[in-house]
């Protein structure tokens, strides 16, 4: 079944937020990027841009959690490698021009509601990673999960700034080795 108009707009917004940030993402650009009709905007998002961005944040969060599915009982290094692989793939596919849509909104919003939404997404990633790390036998799953999320976000930013995968790969290799050595 083809993706619906609303879903296309949401995923288009995720991609644009990851490349252009919050201020650089407009309804017009979402419509153009997704090939959706102008009348779709307020039909699907009567609350305006904030409603679209909130839906995009939720989708980005869910997509990341979905990528971690099936890792119950995996070793901490495999869990870490899988999570980092999500972000490396994004960098590769975009030629280091895209980053994390959630981070893009976090650093640009002035809205308490939007900040609460980004915090909830980051908490969900940390909680899922901590759960998987604990199941895999990591001795400090919560602290390591927070470290992995924070380091991945920073490594993505460095790679985008330097237009190189080298900073990301260096951070990833370190984290994977730490995860392997922890058990």
Over range 59-78, report the average pLDDT: 97
The pLDDT-based confidence of 1 (bands split at 50, 70, 90) is: very low
What CATH number should be reported for the domain holding residue 100? 1.10.357.10
Residue 27's domain comprises 5-181
φ/ψ of 165, rounded to 5, equals -80, -10
**What are the residue ranges of helices labelled H in 21-165?**
27-34, 40-44, 49-67, 76-93, 101-108, 112-135, 141-162
pLDDT at 177: 98
Q: Among 5-14, 42-51, 129-138, which range has the highest average pLDDT?
A: 129-138
- Total domains in the chain come to 1
For residue range 90-139, list pLDDT tens digits in order.
999 999 999 999 999 999 999 999 999 999 999 999 999 999 999 999 99
For residue 3, name the pLDDT band (cuts at 50, 70, 90).
Answer: low
b (16+ CB within 10 A) / e for 121-156: bbeebbebbbbbbbbbebeebeebbbbbbebbbebb
Average pLDDT along the chain: 94
Work out the burial of residue 73: count CB atoms within 10 Å of its CB; fewer than 13 is exposed, 13-18 middle, 19 or more buried: exposed
Average pLDDT over residues 14-30: 92
- With 90 as the cut, is the pLDDT of residue 42 above it? no
Model pLDDT, residue 12:
94
């Amino acid at each position: 079944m083809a993706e619906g108009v609303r879903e296309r707009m949401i995923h288009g917004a995720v991609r644009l937020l990851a490349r252009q940030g919050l201020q650089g993402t407009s309804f017009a650009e979402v419509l153009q990027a997704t090939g959706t009709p102008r009348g779709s905007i307020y039909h699907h998002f009567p609350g305006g841009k904030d409603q679209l961005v909130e839906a995009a944040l939720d989708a980005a969060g869910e997509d990341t959690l979905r990528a971690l599915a099936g890792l119950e009982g995996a070793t901490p290094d495999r869990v870490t490698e899988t999570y980092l692989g999500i972000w490396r793939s994004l960098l590769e596919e975009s030629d280091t021009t895209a980053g994390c849509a959630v981070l893009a909104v976090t650093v640009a919003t002035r809205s308490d509601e939007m900040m609460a939404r980004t915090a909830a997404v980051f908490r969900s990633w940390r909680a899922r990673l901590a759960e998987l790390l604990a199941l895999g036998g990591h001795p400090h799953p919560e602290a390591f999960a927070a470290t992995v999320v924070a380091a991945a976000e920073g490594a993505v930013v460095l790679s985008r700034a330097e237009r190189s995968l080298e900073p990301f790969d260096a951070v990833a290799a370190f984290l994977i080795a730490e995860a392997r050595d922890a058990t």
